[in-house]
Amino acid sequence: MSDHRIVRIDLDENSLGGGNANADHERRVAIADLLESNKFRPEADDAVGPYALRLAIEDDRLVFDVRQTDETPVRAFVFALGPLRRIIKDYFLICESYYEAVRDAPLAQIEAIDMGRRGVHNEGSTLLRERLTGKIEVDFDTSRRLFTLICALNRRAATP
């Protein structure tokens, strides 16, 4: 019986650029939460977990390089970033508003922005899960954490 979960995740160093403290914190938390609890099952006849996952942006495409923990390749999945771009952009904008509000806005305003931020994050997670359908089976919490990491790669890949 296999164990369909991620036990190691690597973000491609070439996809990473300069980041800010908030983005770095979100990335570290998403990785820790993902490794603690996730459901991840590649749709491959011979896929046996647990898995190591490498996420990268290559040629403006999102790459999920899935391997067994001994580095035996399972399958690499490549996705166009286009369908996620608008949501990622919206997520970046609302995160900036949230971090600015945390500095000096009233609690009610911070909570309202945070609710909006979670809503956009959920929308991105749902879209990601739909994009993975037929390729990789994930639960909603796993797709949320993966969406956070994809945003981190996009933020960093867009940084000069």
* Beta pairing, strands 51-58 & 6-11: parallel
**pLDDT tens-place string over residues 101-147:** 999 999 999 999 999 999 999 999 999 999 999 999 999 999 999 99
pLDDT of residue 23: 73
DSSP H helices, 75-139, are: 82-104, 107-132
pLDDT of residue 129: 96
Taking residues 64-85, report their average pLDDT. Answer: 92
Q: Alpha-carbon torsion 149, 150, 153, 156, what sign?
A: negative
Sorted by where each begins, the domain ranges of the chain are 6-157
Taking residues 150-154, report their average pLDDT. Answer: 86
